[in-house]
Amino acid sequence: MTPAARLQAVIDLYGQAREGGRPADAVASAFFRGRRYIGSKDRQAVAGRLWSMLRHEARLGWWVARAGVPDTPRTRAAAELLIAEGMAGAAVDKLFDGSTYGPAPLAAEERAILTTAEGGRLDAPEMPDGVRAELPDWAVAPMRRAFGDRFDEEAAALLEAAPLDLRVNEIKARRDEVLAALEAQGVEAAATALSPIGVRVEGRPNLAGAPLFKSGAIEIQDEGSQLVALLADARPGMQIADYCAGAGGKALALAARMGGKGRVLACDVSEGRLARAKERMRRAGIDNIEPRLIAPGDKRLKRLKGRFDRVLVDAPCSGTGAWRRNPDARWRDVDLDALTALQADLLDRAARLVKPGGRLVYATCSVLAEENEDRVEAFLADHPDFAALPVAEAWAGVFGEDAAPPAGADAGRWLRLSPARHGTDGFFVAILARAEAGRGAGPDGEDGEGESESEDGGDGARGSGADPSATGTSEAA
């Protein structure tokens, strides 16, 4: 492809991504599948420019508005070349050459971008803080509350490209074997710093066709997501419910920890996601996961009240912790009040499945206190038979008595991970232990529920048709 043709491809892709409705990675995948004649180097160049524009969304918009030109994919692409790439105005103008596969020449009303943005800075001091940090208006105050004096550092880290992490399937391989196999394939990789079953890969090699992936020895999963599953402390013979399983990433990790002994009930309201989970199970050689499609009003989980050793709620959230992985997601509409109400409802329903002495694990890929600490504090106030298990105790129980949570992650009762401090996606984890039978029991003398059989409880779909696994994360979560 000529440089002009690459630019036109970026303009087309960016326009489709801005239309909404589908994640940018899905838009890009469909675009390239329909144009298989585009070579790998061209694909990388086009995709790289697209992701750069998505990460600079607010700042490019600020420069376009300053220039007083129409806000279109064309003017934003020109601004990206001028500011992020540092190209001269004349060189950018030349790319809009009107060639067969290139963009049409810049119109009179577009040309001011060439002079206004030439030599401009992505972090111009005149920009509002929210624009410079690439934050939607609704997120500025919650992010400041979450990070305090670390706001600038954490916001900047959320703009970086996410690494490629792999989880070693403990049923089929050991980490040292996976590292050796990757090295033999010419893939640069190293053990993750926090997860004992994680591998971090340099660059973006295509692993989908690699023998390790095809054999089920590895799964793509962020290191932080691996830690969520590990901290559930799944053990052979347990009964575990993954209440918002999605495509099964954490369910697979839980089942592997159990060595195929016991059961993982993987619940979701999406048949498509569960179908993907089943394919991943087959590839991984896992047969102790039971996918369970839950429909609104479904009563089947109600019969399982109080039977699970562990219940994982990977709750629907704003996805703020995964913004570096999904840069377009930060510009989707978010109703934080609706999300927090849903999270509270999910916690309440999932708690009914936990047996006395069992644990409820609440996790989000959000960095906002409104979705994390606030939700758990409110839950504990309403459920006196549950108590927070200190993070250090939970960590030592999983990783060894001498192991301690990473610096900056342990605030006593919760685990908080962030890209700036830990190199993972942003995650929050709370481990909530239910009192043993006869201790901390509620007024019904059993488990504090006091519900009648006529109540609409524990159906995983919350009786509303809402999606308990729409966490805003990728399938690799």
Concatenated DSSP letters of 151-205: HHHHHHHTTSPPPEEEEE-TTT--HHHHHHHHHHTT--EEE-SS-TTEEEESS--
pLDDT at 242 over 90: yes
**Distance between terminal CA atoms of the chain?**
35
Stretch 88-115: mean pLDDT: 96
Runs of H (alpha helix) within 308-368: 336-351
pLDDT at 463 over 50: no
Known active-site residue 244: no
Distance CA 36, CA 42 (A): 11
Stretch 442-459: mean pLDDT: 33
Model pLDDT, residue 208: 83
Percentage of residues of the chain with pLDDT beyond 90 = 73
Distance CA 118, CA 107 (A): 17
Q: Are 471 and 269 in contact (CB under 8 A)?
A: no
The more confidently predicted of residues 209 and 72 is 72
Of the candidates 244, 267, 317, 365, the residue annotated as catalytic is 365
pLDDT at 30 over 50: yes
Label residue 465 by pLDDT band (50, 70, 90): very low
Model pLDDT, residue 283: 92
- Give residue-wise pLDDT tens across range 386-414: 999 999 999 999 999 889 888 887 768 99
pLDDT at 469 over 60: no
Stretch 43-56: mean pLDDT: 93
The more confidently predicted of residues 21 and 290 is 290
Stretch 236-251: mean pLDDT: 93
Model pLDDT, residue 449: 36
Model pLDDT, residue 19: 83
- Give residue-wise pLDDT tens across range 112-121: 999 999 999 9
Stretch 207-216: mean pLDDT: 90
Stretch 262-268: mean pLDDT: 92
Model pLDDT, residue 270: 84
The more confidently predicted of residues 326 and 176 is 176
Stretch 103-132: mean pLDDT: 94
The amino acid occupying position 138 is W
Instruction: Please report, for residues 69, 137, 177, the alpha-carbon distance to residue 77 in angstroms, rounded to integers and kept in the order given.
Output: 13, 23, 44
pLDDT at 374 over 70: yes
pLDDT at 143 over 80: yes
pTM as predicted: 0.87
Percentage of residues of the chain with pLDDT beyond 70 = 90
Model pLDDT, residue 231: 96
Label residue 20 by pLDDT band (50, 70, 90): low
Stretch 17-44: mean pLDDT: 87
pLDDT at 275 over 80: yes
User: Structure tokens of 302?
Assistant: 């109600």
Label residue 297 by pLDDT band (50, 70, 90): low
Buried-state track 376-397, b at ≥16 Cβ within 10 A, e below 16: beebbeebebbebbebeebbee
State the CB neighbour count (10 A cutoff) for residue 274.
22
Beta strand ranges found along 279-410 (DSSP E): 289-293, 308-314, 354-364, 386-388
Label residue 302 by pLDDT band (50, 70, 90): confident
Report the 3 state secondary structure along the chain. Answer: CCHHHHHHHHHHHHHHHHCCCCCHHHHHHHHHHCCCCCCHHHHHHHHHHHHHHHHCHHHHHHHHHHHCCCCCHHHHHHHHHHHHCCCCHHHHHHHCCCCCCCCCCCCHHHCHHHHHHCCCCCCCCCCCHHHHCCCCHHHHHHHHHHHHHHHHHHHHHCCCCCCEEEEECCCCCCHHHHHHHHHHCCCCEEECCCCCCEEEECCCCCCCCCHHHHCCCEEECCHHHHHHHHHCCCCCCCEEEECCCCCCHHHHHHHHHCCCCCEEEEEECCHHHHHHHHHHHHHHCCCCEEEEECCCCCCHHHHHCCCEEEEEEECCCCCHHHCCCCHHHHHCCCCHHHHHHHHHHHHHHHHCCEEEEEEEEEEECCCCHHHCHHHHHHHHHHCCCEEECCHHHHHHHHHCCCCCCCCCCECCCCEEECHHHHCCCCEEEEEEEECCCCCCCCCCCCCCCCCCCCCCCCCCCCCCCCCCCCCCCCCCC
Mean per-residue pLDDT of the chain: 88
